[in-house]
Each structure stands twice: as C-alpha cells, then as structure tokens.
Structure 1
Amino acid sequence: MSGSPIVGRTDSRLVELTREQALELLARAPFGRVVYTRDALPAIRPVNHLLDDGLLIVRTRLASQFSTAVQSRSGVVVAYEADDIDIHRRTGWSVVITGIARPVTDPTRITRYEQLLQPWIGSPMDGVIEIEPTLVSGIRLIDNPIPDSSGTPGT
C-alpha cells in the first residue's frame, strides 16, 4: 500500500485538557482503574467512583488488597485512570489523577457514600476510600480529517 492518505479517513490528534476539564470528564465516567502498590509492584483494579467536594471516592471491600494497602498506612500514593474511547472513530478522552488515598472513617460520610455510590459488582462493599487529586492530567482525542486531493477534509 502506498504512503498516501486514504480519502475520507480520519486521524485523531491529542489535545491536552485543563485540570477543570479533566475533572469534569472524570465526574461523568461510571468507572475507572485504581493503580496502587502491592508487594512493591504496581497493581491495577477496576472500580466505580464519584467526585465529591474535590475528592475521588471509591467503595471497596475492607479485606481487598487495595483497601489493605491503604489501611496499613496513614496515606498512600495512588493513581486513578478513567477513559472513554471510541475505537472506530478514534476519538475519546483519558484522565489520570495521582494523589493520596486514605480510608474514610467518619460514619456519617460512610453512610452518605454508601447511598450515593452503589457497587457495580455482586460483592458487598464495606469500605470507603478517598483520593485527594494532587496531579491531574488529561487528553482528548479529536477528529482531524485528512484532506482529499482537493484540500477538502474527508468525511
């Protein structure tokens, strides 16, 4: 196949998001992936979340490896990633936050989050963890139509 572009094909390009844009997209995402350290190695688990007053909130089982890692220290650095990618259109977005994770211990807050954030898997979730976003980054993949030979963007 020649190196010439396919007429009508769309390539995507990356656009950096502001902190506010990234957090707005994260707030709309139904779930993401928490990255934490287990036995000095990175571990990744999918979880659902909500943003509340600037904090990312996740529910987990108290006996889970993630919860155990957070409970064993006064605060642990974690990353959290969420995205929405359309593989056919080559568009979408990805947001990554890095921050300190801590267990939520206030019974009033725990009850509130149990009402607001329903587990998306069948296991009971008896723990709540908050992540304070220190670093927030995000990208958006947007359509970048390749012009045809006349200079008109493809469709």
Structure 2
Amino acid sequence: MTDDATPAPARRSVDLGHAEALALLGSVSLGRVVFTRQALPTVRPVNHVLVDGDLVIRTHERAALTLRAGQGEGDGVVVAYEADDIDPVTHLGWSVVVTGYARLVTDPGERARYDALLRPWVDRTMEHAIRIHPTLVTGVRLVAA
C-alpha cells in the first residue's frame, strides 16, 4: 500500500475499443446509471446484465428513472452508465461508460426474460425492467507505465 508520502507507481491510460469495452462491462454486475432529475444530474448504483449488446437494469414503480423512461413513446430518456474494476491498491484496472437511450420494457415476454436473468441486489420488489441501448461506448484501461 502507498500512503500520502509515497508516490504511487506511474500508470497510463489506454483507450478501449467498442467490443472490448462492452465485453468488460458484461464481466461485472454493478454499475452506476446517470440521468437527470429536476434538471440536475442524478447517479444511482444498480446491478445490470448485458443482453444482445444492451444493458438491462431493474427498477421499482416509483423510481425516478422508471418514471422518466416510461414517459411517452419516443426514444426514451438519455442516460449514461458507468462500470469499472479498479484495484484499490495499485489503481490499475478499467472503466467503461456508455451513453444511450433508456426505455421501459413493456413486452411481457421480454420482461419475463429479464426477470429471470437479473436478480436485484436490494431487498425490494422491482416491477420494471429498463433497457439501455448504448449509442456511445468509451472506456479506458489503466496500466502500469
């Protein structure tokens, strides 16, 4: 471990390609969804699953994101989603951010599929699924210099 007096080893950031970034995102189950609420950014930790290139999360009836994603029949609501795996000691690892549209899943068959694939981490009934289609995928790997 390093302390404030010991400089951390040098590291550099390497950009990830689209496919590698999505593969890394699919290798973890926890991330952070970012959306606007009352015109301000809001961040929520959620668990996810990657299905056919889309992220799927579960939400409850009164969740702010459920209400936002379910409004209207348009493109949905713009969100960002971030997940990472960074070692707390070496500070090496990766971070991936996807930006895209979040839409409430309304098809009962599709919803049942996501219910079977994704178990919420919190002790609360999650009646809804939200699918996020990544429009922009970026990521970095932090490696020793």
Q: Root-mean-square deviation (CA), in Å?
A: 1.4
| Conserved 8 A contact 1:11-1:90 | no
3-state secondary structure, aligned to 2:48: strand
Is it true that 1:108 corresponds to 2:109 in the alignment? yes
Deviations 1:6-49 (A, max 9, x none): 7xx62111000000010000001111000001001110101111
* 4+ residue segments displaced more than 4 Å: none
Alignment of 1:40-51 (within 5 A): 40-51=39-50
Query: Equivalents in 2 of 1:103, 1:59: separation in Å?
Result: 10
Query: Equivalents in 2 of 1:31, 1:95: separation in Å?
Result: 12
Structure 1 counterpart of 2:47, one-letter code: N
Mean alpha-carbon deviation: is it higher for 66-75 or for 107-116?
66-75
Query: Equivalents in 1 of 2:35, 2:61: separation in Å?
Result: 15
Deviations 1:47-76 (A, max 9, x none): 111111111111110211111111124311
Q: Which structure is larger by alpha-carbon Rg, 1 or 2?
A: 1
Residue 122 of structure 1: aligned partner: 123
Matched residues, percent identical?
49
Q: Which runs of 5+ in 2 are unaligned?
A: 1-5
> Normalized against structure 1, the TM-score is what?
0.85
Paired residues, what number? 138
| Conserved 8 A contact 1:36-1:78 | yes
Residue 64 of structure 2: aligned partner: 65
Query: Equivalents in 2 of 1:117, 1:87: separation in Å?
Result: 27
Residue 99 of structure 1: aligned partner: 100
Is it true that 1:28 corresponds to 2:27 in the alignment? yes
Give the drift of 1:87: 2.1
Query: Equivalents in 1 of 2:132, 2:99: separation in Å?
Result: 8
Query: Equivalents in 1 of 2:59, 2:130: separation in Å?
Result: 7
